[in-house]
Amino acid sequence: MEPIPAPLVDLTSLAPVLVLSVFTMMVLLVDLFVGRNKSVLVFISLTGLLMAAISAFAKGAEIPVYSFNGAYVVDRLSIFFTMIFCLSSALAILLSVEYNKREGIRVGEYYSLILFCTVGMIVLASSTDLIMIFIGIEIVSICLYVLAGIRRGDLRSNEASLKYFLLGAFATGFLLYGMTLLYGTTGSVKLLTIAERLNSGEVFTNPLMLMGVVLLVIGFGFKVASVPFHMWAPDVYQGAPTPVTAFMAVGPKAAAFAAFFRVFAEGIPELAPSWETTLSIVAVLSMFIGNLGAIMQTNIKRLLAFSSVSHVGYILIAVIAKNTLGSASLLFYMLSYAFMIFGIFGIVILLGREGNENLELENYSGLGFKHPMLAFCMTLFMLSLGGLPPLAGFVAKFYIFQAALKEGFLWLVIIAVLNSAISFYYYLKVIVFMYMKEPIGEFKISLTPITLFVVAIGVLGTLELGIFPGPVIFLAQY
Amino acid sequence: MFLTFVTFLPLIGAALLAFVPDEKTETIKQAALGIAVADFLLSLVFYQEFDMHSHKMQFEFMVPWIEAWGINYHVGLDGISLLLYILTTFLTAVSILASWEVKKHTKYYMISMLALSTGMLGVFIALDFFMFYVFWEFQLVPMYIIIGVWGGPRRLYAAVKFFIYTAVGSLLMLVGIIWMYLELHQQTGTYSTDILFMTDNLKMALEVQIWLFLAFFLAFAIKVPMFPFHTWLPDAHVEAPTAGSIILAGVLLKMGTYGFLRFNLPLFPAASYSLFPYVCWLAVIGIVYGALVAMVQEDLKKLVAYSSVSHLGFVMLGIFAFNHQGLSGALLQNINHGISTSALFLMVGMIYDRRHTRLIKEFGGLSKIIPVFAIYFMIVTLSSIGLPGMNGFIGEFLVLIGMFQTDVVFAMIGTSGVIFAACYMLWMFQRVMFLEVTNPENEKLEDMNLREKILMVPMVILIFWIGLYPAPFTKTFDASIEHLVSHVNKHSGIKHEEEGGAHHAAVKGKATVAQLLTTGTSETTVLVKE
């Protein structure tokens, strides 16, 4: 047991967290005075996210910087992830503005919950300490439980929230137990120390430690919705308000992956022989079950839920590769995924109207020639998710495959590309509905400007990362 | 730079068309045709400026694209791609003119056509693997849309089948590409996806070459399509609108054979040699099988589709003859098939527009009712069979000469395909054009109109031009083929002394491979390329 020294307090490392927390509380306070018009809250939230994103660079070029006794780090991974979180939260807030008005969601806490969640995500992505990671995960999860059920009058939303809460709480238990075992066997909660001790042969692999690793896989598996811990995803995705679904699909998942990567690739790479196979199986199953499950779906949100399970499979390959290329590809993948997902959900929101969200694939019939621009954007996103060049999804997959092949995981990459081929089937199905079927009813689409703006950002991001990925790759890799 | 402009011109045109209101169909059609024709005329400049004596890439243009990964935007034309490039612009113009009667969503149809054109042109000029892959996949989308929206009754099935089949093949190729990319870095310390650089610098053991060859083979064999990967083709052809079939047969299938010439042979010469019997078996099976199945088809389009399987078998045979005659035959046959089969699809389309059926038994005695059509159809049919004096003959003749020098058995089986072709084509012609008019509906058919004649005249001119005086065509690729043959021979791991020893080389090649396979690993580690 090491003595517990007083931690070095380094507030500049914490700058984004602090800034965002201040703004979150401001949102909570201002909400008391503004009445029914919440647009000022949106403005404060967006400013907060912007400030947080800027303050992420407070450390300047001297990264990586460890602070708080090695529990917290500012490095390439955490800064890039902070950018992704701020972007995705901002997009989620923008998506909510018109949606909430339409669906009658009039609670000010909504925005502060998203911001608090973002705080948790930043903590999660910057922690190099098991306890900090746990705190981050809890902040994120608790906000999400509430957000999923924010439509109090809607049974589906309630169901989503409750399901997510029960399963999530269960998973947290597993995670905590795994962390305990890891701490018990290595004698430290700091990832760096754990890695050092494992590396130097100070501690030896023993069954308890391996059990801890397995429990960590289960815990993280729940958080990122990988098979066989994905059961909650379709129901929660379907039941949660659409902007929250989009938010959940990107931000918290990216954060969980950041911690996943840190724990496995930076903390316990020495134990790789024991978790590599487990994670590979999880990845392969996620890809297959996600893709095959998506084929059956007729509801666009459920389809996207299964598709996201399959994407988790691809991203896990980056964790398994556990090299610099792996972390860079993880960053790139999450960023491009953010653009695609928010774009898609923007279109999903546009297609709905008061009292009827039009979430069945049938509702997309004939969209292609009635609203060509909208359908074109949707086509772009679908093809990008499938991994068709020259779109973001392709470059992201190329990146991950590169990382995996470099470590010699040829079979994993082959399974992944075959899965890409399977996934085209259902992504094309959406396109089939839009272009090749006759419309089943009138489209009453009101092209609300803010949601359209989000879609436009999605399109621009998808194209930019697909056609000129150079600068972003540079940021992610070097 | 000019090459880039000509390649992207259709896409720019498509983007501009998107801003024209949907109702102005005439303007849209004229604009699309104008862009396509302009693009064709511009592409002729490359023929004019092309240095026929050089095997080197010409009109090269290179700018960094993704610097972090060493990926460049690198384009250029050589003898192997030049004619295919011009064929593509030509057939794009033809297919747009052939789609004049498309009533449904005309604007989107034309946009898809033009986008498709850029995708195909890009495949032929790409000199960087990453770029090649981008274009290779990109062109799937507009073709998928064309089949899926404007196709026949089973269009959804055909479109998805087409897409998934091609995607499966090309994704494995992608794994191969990334593998080679990393391997190249291991060997030379440079990250590069440049095709030329890789061809010159990547050294691989035979065993590795075979695996990579297979990964690329799957992608290209599906596209060609070779037996037994051909099953998507009849579906796609039957359901596609006329112009879709023209592009499919005329250009898309050529991308497969082009892939063999550009990648499989130069990159994996030793594997090409060692796997050559298997590829040739598939090719001759394709020739005979395609012909036999074509013979029993009741649908005209299906018949032509299966004849494509057979004809492309010849092209594959020519490529894997590994000698000058075979390869020039293969390249010429590429062009010939692009012209003849496109013309056939065009004419089947014309008759379908009139009768809304393609079943052979619905017709009969048409030559009495529509004589002009019958004459054109005769010419095209004969050209497809390979009658001397027409284009098909030269190509098949060269391929068979080439193959006879390499392996007599394959050449003999392949030759039977020529006879079968005469059987099914002439029998079809007889049932459609001659005999008595049995179906009263056929009696009031109209003969070809001016637009249709304008479409057919250049086809017929090309058919006779290549048939009687092929030199202007063959001379474009002579130098490139010469270089390719010597490159393959030099790097296949087989030493041979004199020029013109392709026969010996190939025979020795087989012997060496047999030895390699029997003696096991000690020999397989022999590095090729220097």
Distances (CA, A) of B270 to A173, B115, B506: 58, 37, 11
**Cis link prior to A228 (omega < 30° from 0)?**
yes
A120-124 long-range CB contacts below 8 Å, 24 or more apart?
A120/A255, A121/A81, A121/A85, A121/A251, A121/A252, A121/A254, A121/A255, A122/A16, A122/A17, A122/A20, A122/A52, A122/A78, A122/A81, A122/A82, A122/A85, A122/A255, A123/A17, A124/A255, A124/A256, A124/A258, A124/A259
Of B137, B140, B175, the CB nearest to A413: B175
What residue of A is the nearest CA neighbor of B163?
A424
- Cα separation, A224 vs A175, whole angstroms: 13
Using a CB–CB cutoff of 8 Å, tell me whether A421 touches chain B.
yes
- With respect to residue A4, please indicate whether it lies within any of the assigned structural domains: no
Which alpha helices (DSSP H) does B356-407 contain, by range? 366-369, 371-385, 391-406
This complex has an ipTM of 0.89
Determine contact, residues A166/A204, Cβ cutoff 8 Å: no
Residue A225's identity, in one-letter code, is A
As given in the structure block, the two tokens for residue A112 are: 């502060």
Residues forming beta bridges with residue B236, ordered by sequence position: none
Chain B residues with beta carbon closer than 8 angstroms to that of A469 = 66
CB contact under 8 A, B137 and A389: yes
| Count of the separate structural domains present in chain A | 1
**Closest by alpha carbon to B219, among B300, B137, B293?**
B137
Query: Is A6 in a helix, a strand, or coil?
Result: coil
Q: Which helix (H) or strand (E) holds A458?
A: helix A449-467
Whether residues A432 and B134 touch (CB distance < 8 A) is answered with no
Phi, psi at B228, each rounded to 5°: -100, 30
Q: Is residue A6 part of a domain?
A: no
Q: Is residue A401 part of a domain?
A: yes
Contact A33, A128 (CB under 8 A): no
Q: Which residues of A touch B172 (CB under 8 A)?
A: 414, 417
Q: Which two tokens stand for residue A444?
A: 């009453």
Q: For residue B242, give the nearest of B166, B304, B308, B333 by alpha carbon.
A: B304
Q: Do A436 and B156 touch (CB under 8 A)?
A: yes
List Cβ neighbours of A305 (8 Å cut-off, separation of 6 or more). Answer: A233, A234, A236, A237, A238
**What is the model's pLDDT at position A86?**
93
**Rg of chain B taking only CA atoms, in angstroms:** 23
> Would you write out chain B's pLDDT as a tens digit for each of its 530 residues?
888 998 999 999 999 988 888 888 888 888 999 999 999 999 999 888 888 888 888 888 889 888 888 888 999 988 889 999 999 999 999 999 888 888 888 888 999 999 999 999 999 999 999 999 999 999 889 999 999 888 888 888 988 899 988 888 888 899 999 999 998 888 888 888 888 888 888 888 888 889 999 999 999 999 888 888 888 888 888 888 888 999 998 899 999 999 999 998 888 888 888 888 899 999 999 999 999 999 898 888 899 999 989 999 989 999 988 888 889 999 999 999 999 999 999 989 888 888 888 888 888 888 888 888 888 989 999 998 888 888 888 888 889 988 888 888 888 888 888 888 888 888 888 888 888 777 777 778 788 888 888 888 999 999 999 888 888 888 888 888 888 888 888 877 654 433 444 444 444 444 343 333 333 333 333 333 33
CB A441 within 8 A of CB A89: no
List chain A residues with CB under 8 Å of B232: none
B227: left (phi over 0), alpha (psi -120 to 50) or beta: beta
| B interface test, pick of A431, A438, A472, A477 with most B CB neighbours within 10 Å | A431
Interchain CB distance below 8 Å, B178 and A405: yes
Closest to A469 in 3D by CA, of A339, A364, A302: A339
Q: Do B140 and A425 make contact, defined as CB atoms within 8 angstroms?
A: no
Distance from CA of A95 to the nearest CA of B (A): 28
Beta bridge partners of A14: none
Instruction: For residues A392 and A381, give the distance between their C-alpha atoms in angstroms, rounded to a whole number.
Output: 9
CB B166 within 8 A of CB B108: no
- Inspect the interface and report whether the beta carbons of A406 and B149 lie closer than 8 Å: no
In chain B, residues with a C-beta closer than 8 Å to the C-beta of A379 are 141
Q: Which residues of A touch B130 (CB under 8 A)?
A: 398
Given CB atoms, is A410 within the 8 Å cutoff of chain B?
A: yes
CB within 8 Å of B12: residues ≥ 6 apart: none
Judged by CB atoms closer than 8 Å, whether chains meet at A421 and B171 is answered as yes
CA gap B350, B327 in Å, rounded: 34
Interchain contact, B108 vs A372, CB within 8 Å: yes
Chain B residue numbers touching A398 (CB-CB < 8 A) = 130, 174, 178
Q: What is the DSSP string of B165-178?
A: HHHHHHHHHHHHHH
Question: Residue A288 sits in which domain range?
Answer: 15-477
Is A466 exposed, middle or buried, given 0-12, 13-18 or 19+ CB atoms closer than 10 A? buried
For residue B129, which phi and psi values (nearest 5 degrees)? -60, -45
- A/B interface, count of CB pairs below 8 Å: 88
CB spacing of A402 vs B181 below 8 angstroms: yes
Strand partners, B44: none
pLDDT of residue A246: 92
Q: What is the pTM of this model?
A: 0.89
* A9, part of any domain: no
- What distance, in Å, lies between the first and last C-alpha atoms of chain B? 35
- Side-chain half-sphere of B470: how many Cα atoms within 13 Å? 24
Chain B interface mutation, best of A369, A417, A420, highest count of B Cβ atoms under 10 Å:
A417
DSSP-assigned states of every residue in B486-500: HHHHHHTT----STT
Assess contact for A461 and A336: CB atoms under 8 A: yes
**Local structure of A358: helix, strand or coil:** coil
A295 in contact with B, Cβ within 8 Å: no
- pLDDT tens, residue by residue, A59-79: 777 778 888 888 888 888 889
- Which one of A287, A291, A415, A432 would you mutate to disrupt binding with B, by most B Cβ within 10 Å of its Cβ? A432
Instruction: Please report the DSSP string for B111-126 in residue order.
Output: HHHHHHHHHHHHHHHB
pLDDT in tens, A405-415: 988 889 999 99
Work out the minimum CA distance from B20 to partner chain A, whole angstroms: 13
Distance from the Cα of A426 to chain B's closest Cα (Å) equals 10
| Residue A409 within any structural domain of the chain | yes
A417–B172 C-beta distance less than 8 A: yes
Indicate the SS3 state at residue A160. Answer: helix
- Give the other-Cβ count within 10 Å of B402's Cβ: 25
Write down the domain spans for chain B.
277-482
Contact A436 B155 (CB under 8 A): yes
Among B139, B175, B211, pick the best mutation site for testing chain A contact (most A Cβ within 10 A): B175
Distance from CA of B52 to the nearest CA of A (A): 34
Q: How far apart are CA A166 and CA A67, in angstroms?
A: 34
- Give the Cα separation of B33 and B108 in Å (integer): 14
Q: Which two tokens stand for residue A198?
A: 């494992």
For B182, the closest of A398, A406, A469 (CB atoms) is A406
Nearest to B330 by CA among B279, B269, B275, B367: B279
